[in-house]
Amino acid sequence: MSNLDNSEYVLEELKPEDAERCAEVLFKSLKGTLPPAIKGKEGILRMIWGPMKVSVVAKKDDEIAGIITGTASLPPSIVFIHVLSKEASMAGLEKMLLDHFSKVIKEKVPGASYLTTSVPADERFFISFYLNLGFTIHGFVREGYLGKDVVMLRRNIEV
């Protein structure tokens, strides 16, 4: 267990004035691992900011430590979650982001009772990651993403 206190992190909905800075930080962190469809910093900016997008950022000492992005639709869906350091991950920042994101979604989409996400079936690490965050496997789609099978996951919104 980490000795970090959760109060070291400030979680808030992404503000317009922080969107470009956040995209830049993510681009530097993810360089070389981005899917071909995401073209540079501008592609990341479109992924985290725009109509129907909901992003929650975590900051520590005013530096971006992590982000979760999803859609404010029915059902709401998580598109992306990323924590920038092992220290933040060990402190449980992914769960903190998910819990705060759930609260924001519940306010924006009052009828939502669960979150969804989808992961390519061969990405066992990410499937386990979401299962450890309280998601359950809800279904499968054959050749649903770039010709790959996809696992559909769901988590109840608990606020």
Summarize pLDDT for 69-112 with one digit per residue, the tens.
999 999 999 998 999 999 999 999 999 999 999 999 999 999 99
Find where tokens 């990410």 sit. Answer: 126
**pLDDT of 125 strictly over 60:** yes
* Averaged pLDDT of the chain: 89
**pLDDT for res 38:** 76
**Can 1-111 and 113-159 be said to share one CATH topology?**
no
**pLDDT for res 7:** 64
**pLDDT for res 159:** 53
**pLDDT for res 3:** 39
- Least confident range from 8-22, 29-43, 114-128, 143-157: namely 29-43
Per-domain residue ranges for the chain? 1-111, 113-159
Query: How many Å apart are CA 142 and CA 148, to the nearest integer?
Result: 7
Query: How many Å apart are CA 102 and CA 107, to the nearest integer?
Result: 9
Could you tell me which of 151, 13, 132, 20 has the C-alpha nearest to residue 69?
13
Domain 1-111, CATH: 3.40.630.30
How do residues 46-58 score in pLDDT, each as one tens digit?
889 999 999 999 9
CB 46 within 8 A of CB 23: no
**pLDDT of 4 strictly over 50:** no
Type of residue found at 147: G
Backbone angles phi, psi at 42, to 5 degrees: -65, -40
**How large is the average pLDDT for residues 4-24?**
85
CATH number for domain 113-159, candidates 3.30.70, 2.30.30, 3.10.540, 3.40.50: 3.30.70
Confidence of residue 145 (pLDDT cuts 50, 70, 90): confident
**How far out from the chain centre does Cα 23 lie?**
14
Could you tell me which of 158, 75, 150, 67 has the C-alpha nearest to residue 115?
75
**pLDDT of 148 strictly over 90:** no
Query: How many Å apart are CA 102 and CA 120, to the nearest integer?
Result: 23
Query: How many Å apart are CA 73 and CA 50, to the nearest integer?
Result: 13
Instruction: Choose between 34 and 147: higher pLDDT.
Output: 147
